[in-house]
Amino acid sequence: MRVGDSRMRWRRPDWTRESIRSDLAAGLTTAVVLIPQGMGYAMLAGLPPICGLYSAMLPLIGYALLGTSRQLAVGPVAMDSLLVAAGVGAIAEIGSEAFIAYAILLAGMVGLIQLAMGLGRFGFLVNFLSRPVISGFTSAAALIIGSSQLQHILGVEIPRSPRIHETLLALLSASANTHLWTFAIGAGGVIALFALKAMAPRVPRALLVVSVATVLVSSLQLDANGVAIVGAVPPGLPEIVFPTAKLSVVVDLVPVALTVALVAFLEAIAVAKTYAIENGDRLDTNRELIALGAANVLGAVSQAYPVTGGFSRTAVNAQAGAKTKLAGVITASVVVVTLMLLTPLFFYMPKAVLSSIIIVAVVGLVDVREVARLWRVNRNDLLMLVMTFTATLGVGIQFGILAGVVLSVLSFVYYASKPHIAVLGRLPGTSIYRNVNRFPDAERLPGVLIVRIDSDLFFGNVAFVEDALRSLEALEPNPIHTVILDGSGINSIDATAESTLRQLAIDYQRRDVRLVLVELKSPVRDALERSHYYELIGRDHVFRSLDEATDGKNLHAREKSPTEVPVFTKDESAGTSGMNQTEARS
């Protein structure tokens, strides 16, 4: 399916003996990463580690049944975990039974919102968050997530905060009480994970580091010396229960649910698109919303908290050879076996090593390369990245994503409201017309202003276009008797734009200036036909090409006879100076 295609198409999985073998290896490998990572992310969300495992079963199967990405690995992720902690923590004490119940309820609300968005074909909303905004938000969120885990590395307790400066100040104040054994385990875990990634990238480093740390704590009885451990993990599968709550709680959770639904979708679609492009696959953003919604609804009835597609696990899944969505089902099956048989092994698992896994995972989300790229390509986009990054760090993740959406929309509106406009001249000896600012040798007709508008005309930009035309006319060294509008860049025109063009034509007629339209596209021609615009300017003022419009038989000039062939001359002084959108294109 093409990206953005909203049609529901179901097809049989392309299973072969080779693909099943690859999916089996990928599913096992991803499960090895997911089990300790999921427990760590649950802890980040303020939930018991077991909730991370519950979030890695039915949600994976739900996505596998409905999703369109073959590699996307669904499950608990760091960003959503922090949003859960911040959002649910505002209405219930973190770690309390109410907090756990509300986090599970939140998963169901997120799922229903995503289902509604998918069925309503709102997948296009992802287009309103630009890449610089997503990069700034993700980088800041990664720093907030990483800083929130430092308390577990140091073995101290500090108040939770969505603002990084508050977290760092609290850590600085509490650093004198650092627990040395806890710090050694946490810092050692971070160092070991980075070292293994560099020297042995194929080794299941998270599982290896967790196993060594657990054996170390158990054999040396470090829990008796103050090292925080996971403790008893209830064995068996979760009960299937539909979450319920008072209406007032549901209302309080709506803003959090909307935020998590949007952030989760953006994270999943960003990583899914990356691997879809690499593998030549087609994504359907609306189906992705439906699949993520189903995953979260299934998670809510199995005591899970909100899930989405994760960056690091998807990379592991793809590198391990996932060919179809069967890999996700295999991962979920491994988690089921673990819950039924292996939970006693988690008792002595130190929380510090789970935090080290989270820290290493989110370091890769800080996108320094994008900053360097935007510095070279577009510094306005870099400003948007910096503003989103700063807002997220200073005020919190929830406000950060809102600021990102607002900045993306404002940026879109700003650029749409100030379209590129070029004054055209003919290249010597040809019938080709180009921007005189980019081609100084382009020749112009005295008294004739040829303007190309490179944008659709609508209520948000037509006033700018009108002002630009008047400004360009004022800059002309000779009196203007003809204005030619090249409509080759205009795909549509709305009622407000048509009305403005009508008033412009009336003003030109009042001043004996001839308005000529050329190269209009079918939607624009049809709209002007329906509005009787041609009757106003005259059908003999509409031409198929600039060459035809500037032919001596068609071009009416006050100083010449109508049949005199015009002579082009150079006029390098005319152009679009003073307009900030007109330098860039030919």
Domain holding 534: CATH number?
3.30.750.24
Name the domain boundary from 367, 392, 412: 412
Say how many C-beta atoms besides its own lie within 10 A of residue 231's C-beta: 13
Above 70 in pLDDT, residue 572? Answer: no
C-alpha span between 208 and 193 (Å, rounded): 9
Highest-pLDDT range among 59-68, 236-245, 570-579: 59-68
Q: Model confidence over 46-84: pLDDT tens digits?
A: 999 999 999 999 999 999 999 999 889 999 998 888 889
Q: What is the per-residue pLDDT for 552? A: 66
CB 451 within 8 A of CB 472: yes
C-alpha span between 566 and 441 (Å, rounded): 18
Which of 47-61, 204-218, 263-277 has the lowest average pLDDT? 263-277
Q: What is the per-residue pLDDT for 478? A: 82
Name the domain boundary from 377, 412, 447: 412
Nearest partner of 24 among 333, 312, 280, 337, judged by Cα: 333
Max CA separation in the chain (angstroms): 104
Residues 368, 488 within the same domain: no
Which of 60-74, 319-333, 498-512 has the lowest average pLDDT? 319-333
Residues 383, 468 within the same domain: no
Q: Which domain holds residue 313?
A: 17-196+207-219+242-412
* Side chain identity at residue 271, one-letter code: V
Residues 406, 385 within the same domain: yes
C-alpha span between 121 and 440 (Å, rounded): 48
* Mean pLDDT across 119-145: 81
Residues 255, 372 within the same domain: yes
Dihedrals phi, psi of 229, to nearest 5 degrees: -120, 165
Above 90 in pLDDT, residue 311? Answer: no
Average pLDDT, the chain: 85
CB 299 within 8 A of CB 70: no
Hey, what are 572's tokens?
A: 């390098």
Q: Which residue has the higher pLDDT, 114 or 411?
A: 114
Q: What is the per-residue pLDDT for 221? A: 92
* Mean pLDDT across 365-391: 87
Could you give the count of Cα atoms lying within 13 Å of 539 in the half-sphere of its Cβ?
Answer: 4
Residues 405, 461 within the same domain: no
Nearest 10 degrees: Cα torsion 575, 581, 585, 586: -20
C-alpha span between 265 and 362 (Å, rounded): 18
Residue 504 lies in a domain: yes
Q: Model confidence over 536-555: pLDDT tens digits?
A: 998 889 999 898 888 766 66
Question: What are the b/e assignments for 86-100, b being 16+ CB within 10 Å?
Answer: bbbbeebebeeeebb
Nearest partner of 30 among 68, 64, 71, judged by Cα: 71
Q: What is the per-residue pLDDT for 434? A: 92
CB 288 within 8 A of CB 123: yes
Query: Cα separations (Å) of 182 from 38, 107, 178, 328, 454?
Result: 21, 32, 8, 34, 62
Hey, what are 13's tokens?
A: 């999985």
* Mean pLDDT across 362-369: 80
Hey, what are 298's tokens?
A: 């299934």
Q: What is the pTM of this model?
A: 0.71
CB 553 within 8 A of CB 493: no
Of the pLDDT bands very low, low, confident and very high (cuts 50, 70, 90), residue 395 is confident
Q: What percent of the chain has pLDDT over 70?
A: 90
DSSP β-ladder status, 569-570 and 443-444 = antiparallel
C-alpha span between 27 and 466 (Å, rounded): 60
* Side chain identity at residue 135, one-letter code: S
* Mean pLDDT across 563-577: 39
**CA angle at 169 for the pair 164 and 171, rounded to the nearest 5°:** 95
Q: What is the per-residue pLDDT for 14? A: 64
* Mean pLDDT across 175-190: 93
Residues 255, 395 within the same domain: yes
Q: Which residue has the higher pLDDT, 233 or 17?
A: 233
Helix (H, G, I), strand (E, B) or coil at 233: coil
CB 516 within 8 A of CB 484: yes
C-alpha span between 318 and 26 (Å, rounded): 7
Residues 394, 495 within the same domain: no
DSSP β-ladder status, 514-518 and 542-543 = parallel
Task: Please report, in angstroms and rounded to a whole number, the separation of the first and last CA atoms in the chain.
Answer: 35
* Mean pLDDT across 416-424: 92
Residues 261, 157 within the same domain: yes
Q: Which residue has the higher pLDDT, 192 or 357?
A: 192
Of the pLDDT bands very low, low, confident and very high (cuts 50, 70, 90), residue 147 is confident
Q: What is the per-residue pLDDT for 408? A: 80
Above 70 in pLDDT, residue 259? Answer: yes
Of the pLDDT bands very low, low, confident and very high (cuts 50, 70, 90), residue 369 is confident
Q: What is the per-residue pLDDT for 137? A: 81
Residue 501 lies in a domain: yes
Residues 246, 145 within the same domain: yes
DSSP β-ladder status, 308-309 and 514-518 = unpaired
Residue 185 lies in a domain: yes
Residue 377 lies in a domain: yes
C-alpha span between 153 and 216 (Å, rounded): 16
Radius of gyration of the chain (CA): 31
Residue 24 lies in a domain: yes
Above 60 in pLDDT, residue 509? Answer: yes
Say how many C-beta atoms besides its own lie within 10 A of residue 494's C-beta: 14
Q: What is the per-residue pLDDT for 553? A: 60
* Side chain identity at residue 466, one-letter code: E
Q: What is the per-residue pLDDT for 551? A: 78
Q: What is the per-residue pLDDT for 10? A: 45
C-alpha span between 46 and 55 (Å, rounded): 14
Query: Cα separations (Å) of 169 from 151, 163, 164, 370, 413?
Result: 12, 10, 9, 29, 39
Above 50 in pLDDT, residue 566? Answer: no
C-alpha span between 56 and 331 (Å, rounded): 8
Hey, what are 368's tokens?
A: 């320094």
Of the pLDDT bands very low, low, confident and very high (cuts 50, 70, 90), residue 13 is low
Above 90 in pLDDT, residue 162? Answer: no
Q: Which residue has the higher pLDDT, 183 or 132?
A: 183
C-alpha span between 260 and 258 (Å, rounded): 6
Residues comprising the chain, all counted:
586
Residues 503, 377 within the same domain: no
Residue 234 lies in a domain: no
Above 90 in pLDDT, residue 231? Answer: no
Residues 110, 178 within the same domain: yes
Cross-strand bridge partners of residue 420: 454
Query: Cα separations (Å) of 462 from 231, 421, 466?
Result: 66, 12, 6
Nearest partner of 300 among 115, 576, 499, judged by Cα: 115
* Side chain identity at residue 340, one-letter code: M
Residue 112 lies in a domain: yes
Residue 368 lies in a domain: yes
* Mean pLDDT across 345-364: 85
Of the pLDDT bands very low, low, confident and very high (cuts 50, 70, 90), residue 9 is very low
Residues 148, 267 within the same domain: yes
Dihedrals phi, psi of 489, to nearest 5 degrees: -100, 5
Report how many domains make up the chain: 2
Task: Find where tokens 């800083």 sit.
Answer: 147
